[in-house]
Structure 1
């Protein structure tokens, strides 16, 4: 059996921290692994473990049918692969690069034009979680292709197939990133405010953890109300949130900390109040944001 058709053989292109973790997971699983990276020295430890370093992108593509891409974005994919498009015919591109849903759709169409099939992936773990089933990766694209290569994909993480549309995995990934970055940024702002008032992060952390853990209860409570279009202010009100956030902003400013983050949240609630929703629940922001 040729290397191209060997189900235990894979190419990994892009050896940043995530790509190196992926190549390492395949080596640990007994795969024959070919790697390529613009800076070849990043492959040194993988080569020492048995990986084959391709001299060119063309060589890396031709080595295996399955090609995992771990790149900064889809622009990087075009930059790297366009000089070697002749080698794309018959390949399966598992694109685990982060980008927008529209870029994923365009990337899948571009791959098809050159004879390759494309699976979009959205990895939900840092490099340390690669090689375990503790974390998952969203996938979208042709179902038959996903099912055929699911074993290869599960070497990296658990799998979560979201549908045929190539943009879906990228969309679900960006939804998670929206929540992740805004939440973590809020924690950093809270930490800065605490520090400005002489409260250590070690003292703050269990309190913040308890607050974040309790958020699940709010999601359970508010989700069915949002889906039902019920924004009645029987539990909370926009006007209450405006007053509370105003206090947060003043406390932040008085502490010498940049108030831009809570001010932006306050502005969203003020906008809802100005539109006549001051007696509605905070869930009214769902519609305000949507417009």
Structure 2
């Protein structure tokens, strides 16, 4: 096992492999960052080429995709026959480009995304996403299990990046809704700690709606089984009015209402909330 890139995440990845008993070679542009890992039993590599030759499997976790190209452009970095798993953050187009680049160099390539903070690496809470050829993933799955909950998404190398940003969209949306509610209740002296359990309960209830709503989206049919969008808009008005009345920022609910208003104007007022998928699919300036 080789790990290239020893920032906070790279060090966490290497440490997890070492704890699981995997011989691990490490390389970083600043060698001093390898110090704690060497104390855990890691083997240092002087060059990127030496690091690659130490193992048939290399995990890459560096600043960006350009850094990957810069590092592996050296004359001694022979990639033929090696498997690269790139956990560097980037977008889906970059992931697909990197896969083509690696293939031209004779390497097997998986792109990935880490859905966790460094301290969680090596626990079940750390979700590590992988996309690319299934045989290349399965060949190393037992080793990768040392990192946490390892998930294979499909052959398209861009899927890991897309899942990553989709997860971020979910995360920020949930947090922003909670912050809006916290700000509202704060005007009545209710603190965030008091509101949090109720907010968590609401989030759990809404999460239960997702499978049924997903079926509507995939079928392209949105019968109002629970509530029609035109009814939801009246509740949005209430949220906006209450926010403004107590002096809380109403930008977020106004944005949501604007999207719903466009959908209603297009004739979807009698359909259920997931019909807004068409608004999310339509880019706007």
TM-score w.r.t. the length of structure 1 is 0.87
Does structure 1 residue 20 correspond to structure 2 residue 28? no
- Deviation, structure 1 residue 204: 0.6
Does structure 1 residue 80 correspond to structure 2 residue 63? no
Q: CA distance change for structure 1 residues 253 and 62 in 2, over 3 Å: closer, same or farther?
A: farther
Does the 8 Å CA contact 1:57/1:84 hold for their aligned counterparts? no
Partner residue, 2:235: 244
Partner residue, 2:146: 155
Partner residue, 2:251: 260
Partner SS, residue 162 of structure 1:
strand
Unaligned runs of 5+ in 1: 1-9
Structure 1's consecutive aligned runs of 4 or more residues displaced over 6 angstroms after TM superposition are none
Does the 8 Å CA contact 1:197/1:255 hold for their aligned counterparts? no
Q: CA distance change for structure 1 residues 253 and 45 in 2, over 3 Å: closer, same or farther?
A: farther
Does the 8 Å CA contact 1:11/1:61 hold for their aligned counterparts? yes
Counterpart CA distance in 2 for 1:82 and 1:185 is 42
Counterpart CA distance in 1 for 2:109 and 2:73 is 15
Partner residue, 2:132: 141
Does structure 1 residue 108 correspond to structure 2 residue 99? yes
Counterpart CA distance in 2 for 1:196 and 1:82 is 58
For residues 50-72 of structure 1, give each alpha carbon's deviation from its aligned partner in whole angstroms, at most 9, with x where no partner exists. 22333332332232221101234
1:1-20 to 2 correspondences below 5 Å: 10-20=1-11
1:72-221 to 2 correspondences below 5 Å: 72-83=63-74, 86-221=77-212
Q: What RMSD, in angstroms, separates the aligned Cα atoms of the two structures?
A: 2.2
Q: CA distance change for structure 1 residues 91 and 234 in 2, over 3 Å: closer, same or farther?
A: closer
Partner residue, 2:217: 226
Counterpart CA distance in 2 for 1:254 and 1:117 is 59
**Which sits farther off after the overlay, 40-49 or 102-111?**
40-49
Does the 8 Å CA contact 2:52/2:77 hold for their aligned counterparts? no
Does the 8 Å CA contact 1:105/1:167 hold for their aligned counterparts? yes
- Deviation, structure 1 residue 95: 0.9
Counterpart CA distance in 2 for 1:262 and 1:75 is 39
* Residue correspondences, number: 282
Partner residue, 1:276: 267
Counterpart CA distance in 1 for 2:211 and 2:151 is 22
